[in-house]
Amino acid sequence: MNHEYSPLYPDVSQTTPQPMPQSGQGMPVPAPQSTARRHRLNEERKAITHKFQVGKHEGYITVGLYDDTRQPGEIFITMSKEGSMMSGLVDAFATSISIGLQYGVPLKIFVNKFSNMRFEPSGVTENPNIPEAKSIVDYVFRWLSLKFLTPEERQSIARNDVSSSNLPTFVETPPSLLDNTNRNEYGV
């Protein structure tokens, strides 16, 4: 059985298929794809805890900081209704953001992506810098922006936010990019 490796990202590899390494039983062995390294926080670290309220929902954001940069390396979000579905989802979401931060994803990327997300619960807050939040996720990332990003970074995010509704913008693909040569059966 002949297995060939077809890269998904043409900009990363050559356009000709590369043979996939074989194991002793003739099964393909995937080649390592990434050299990203996770930088965990020290066992003891500085942290900031912030109490918040969005509408009628209370919670706490705890941000663990790297000693050398004083930048976030982990985020915990605890909702007042322990054991609720929302509490579990928010906790899982915060864990995934923490892992992203530890793998080097800049906080600015997360703030740009998750600020202004609109869904329930939403409402008035007690924070004078964020008087109203469109969701708990919106509140968390706007607060992180105010606490950890420079004014220049916040300004560049504001310029990138095309509309207040945070809807995607669709751009017509130029005909030159629709060339179908050198694509496999899946269009890649």
User: In whole angstroms, what separates CA 52 from the centre of its chain?
Assistant: 21
Rounded to an integer, what distance in angstroms lies between the CA atom of residue 94 and that of residue 96?
5
Nearest to 89 by CA among 79, 99, 75, 103: 79
The list of the chain residues with pLDDT below 70 reads: 1-27, 29-34, 82, 160-188
pLDDT of 188 reads 47
Enumerate the domain spans of the chain.
47-160
146-151 long-range Cβ contacts below 8 angstroms, 24+ apart: 147/48, 147/50, 147/63, 148/63, 148/71, 148/72, 148/107, 149/107, 149/108, 149/111
Question: Which tokens go with 91?
Answer: 């906790």
72: exposed, middle or buried (Cβ count in 10 Å: 0-12, 13-18, 19+): buried
